[in-house]
C-alpha cells in the first residue's frame, strides 16, 4: 500500500493595486498606466489592476470626448506594456457608444489583457450609477446583464470583474463566483459623500465574506473620488487598505488559504438559490 500523492499546493498570486490619479489629458494617462505596469513587473506581479476610467476621467462627467475604441491609444499602450512586462492587466476605460444613439452615450468598460498582450475580454458595466443624485444613464449605455461574465485565469486563480456601483449588487459578485471566480476585482471611481467611504469598505468586505472570495477593490485617487483601495481575504480580513492619495502597492493572494476558507465555510455549496439576469 502506497501513500496517495499529496494534493498540489496552489500558488500565491501577486497583485499590484494601482490607485492612480487620472485626468482629461489622455496622453498623460497613458504614461501613468504604463508606469503602473512597469512597477508591477519590477516587483514580479502576476497582474496589475488599474481603476475605473483609467484612460481618462473628468469629475464633472465622462462623455464622448473622452471615449476611444479598443484599438485606440490607451488599450493599445496597455497591451504593449503588458506584453513587454509579462504582466496581466485589468483597466477601466470608456468606449464609444452606438452611432445611432441620439444622446451620444458611451460605454463604461474594463478590459482584461493577458501577460502576452492579448485582449482577453471586455466587461461592460451593467449597473449604472443612477443614485445619490447622479444619473450615469444620461451619459452611458449599460452592458447587457446576460453577457458572459469576464473571468480571467491568472497564475492558478480565477479573477472575476465588475465595476464600481456593481459592488452594491450581491448578484453581480455571485454570478462571477458561479462562473468560477476565486477573486472579485472591482475597478472603481467611487464618488465621495456622507457615508460613501464607509459603504465602499463595508460592501467590499461583505462581498468577500458571502462569496468566500478575495476582493481586490481598486479606487481612483484625486478630485471627485475617494481612493481608499483595499484587498480583502475570503474570510473578510482586510489585508491592504490605502488612503486617498495616488499610490501603487503589491500584495500576495494565497490560493491555498482561499481553499481552506471554503472548506471551513462551505456556504457556496450550501446555498439554495441561483442568480438569473433580468431581461
C-alpha 232/C-alpha 209 separation (Å) is 9
Catalytic residues: 52, 125, 164
C-alpha 171/C-alpha 118 separation (Å) is 29
Across 43-80, b (16+ Cβ under 10 Å) vs e yields: eebbbbbbbbbbbbbebeebbeebbbeeeeebbbbbbe
Q: Where are the alpha helices (DSSP H) in 18-149?
A: 26-42, 73-85
Residues 6+ apart with CB under 8 A from 278: 145
Surface-to-core class of residue 156, CB atoms within 10 Å of its CB (0-12 exposed, 13-18 middle, 19+ buried) = middle
C-alpha 9/C-alpha 5 separation (Å) is 12
Count Cβ atoms below 10 Å from residue 263 Cβ, excluding itself. 10
Amino acid at each position: 500500500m502506497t501513500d496517495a500523492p499529496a494534493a498540489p499546493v496552489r500558488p500565491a498570486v501577486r497583485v499590484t493595486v494601482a490607485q492612480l490619479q487620472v485626468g482629461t489629458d489622455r496622453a498623460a494617462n497613458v504614461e501613468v498606466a504604463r508606469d503602473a505596469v512597469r512597477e508591477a513587473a519590477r516587483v514580479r506581479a502576476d497582474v496589475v489592476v488599474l481603476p475605473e476610467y483609467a484612460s481618462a476621467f473628468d469629475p464633472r462627467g465622462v462623455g464622448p470626448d473622452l471615449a476611444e475604441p479598443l484599438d485606440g491609444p490607451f488599450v493599445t499602450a496597455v497591451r504593449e506594456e503588458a506584453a513587454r512586462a509579462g504582466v496581466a492587466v485589468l483597466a477601466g476605460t470608456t468606449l464609444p457608444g452606438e452611432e445611432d444613439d441620439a444622446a451620444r452615450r458611451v460605454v463604461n468598460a474594463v478590459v482584461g489583457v493577458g501577460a502576452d498582450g492579448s485582449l482577453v475580454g471586455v466587461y461592460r458595466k451593467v449597473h449604472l450609477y443612477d443614485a445619490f443624485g447622479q444619473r450615469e444613464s444620461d451619459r452611458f449605455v449599460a452592458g447587457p446583464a446576460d453577457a458572459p461574465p469576464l473571468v480571467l485565469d491568472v497564475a492558478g486563480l480565477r479573477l472575476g470583474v465588475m465595476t464600481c456601483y456593481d459592488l452594491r449588487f450581491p448578484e453581480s459578485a455571485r454570478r462571477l463566483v458561479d462562473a468560477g471566480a476565486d477573486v472579485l476585482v472591482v475597478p472603481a471611481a467611487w464618488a465621495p459623500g456622507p457615508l460613501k467611504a464607509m459603504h465602499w469598505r463595508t460592501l467590499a468586505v461583505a462581498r468577500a465574506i458571502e462569496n468566500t472570495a478575495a476582493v481586490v477593490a481598486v479606487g481612483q485617487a484625486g478630485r471627485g473620488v475617494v481612493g481608499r483601495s483595499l484587498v480583502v481575504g475570503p474570510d473578510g480580513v482586510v489585508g491592504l487598505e490605502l488612503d486617498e492619495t495616488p499610490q501603487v502597492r503589491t500584495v500576495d493572494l494565497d490560493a491555498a488559504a482561499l481553499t481552506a476558507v471554503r472548506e471551513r465555510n462551505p456556504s457556496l455549496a450550501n446555498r439554495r438559490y441561483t442568480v438569473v439576469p433580468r431581461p
